[in-house]
Amino acid sequence: MKITLKKILFTGYAVLALLLAVFTAAGCAGKNAVKDGDYAVSVTGHNGPIELTVSFSTKKISAVTVTKESETDVLSDPALVDLPKKIVEANSLAVDSVSGATVTSSAVKYAVRQAIAQAGGNPADFEKPA
């Protein structure tokens, strides 16, 4: 059997391509790797506890629902209603906070981070803009 430079290069490229495919797949496997389900979280808002349920489906944030809160009416409404919708639409925490309701906005985002961790995911994977 004659070993030529061509055979050596071909084998080397084949091994390199296989290794690249394996490591690429392994790196992508952890991205947004959350378990489907509903996760209840309680965080401290401006006026007291805020309770939320965060749902995941097919590795995405499918719902963020505020179940209990004692924030200031009208002022905090955009942070409790609109912000969760934006997080779901973007499948990301990289959405703008609500001006005038910064503490409540931060609390909602923090709750979603906690839910991501509860679901076995890495919150940093959801910090990038969509």
Give per-residue pLDDT as tens, 66-113: 999 999 999 999 999 999 999 999 999 999 999 999 999 999 999 999
Is the whole-model pTM more than 0.85?
A: no
- Residue 20's pLDDT is what? 58
- Residue 93's pLDDT is what? 97
* CA–CA gap between residue 32 and residue 98 (Å, rounded): 25
Helix (H) or strand (E) holding 3: none
Average pLDDT taken over every residue of the chain: 86
> Structure tokens of 87?
């997080």
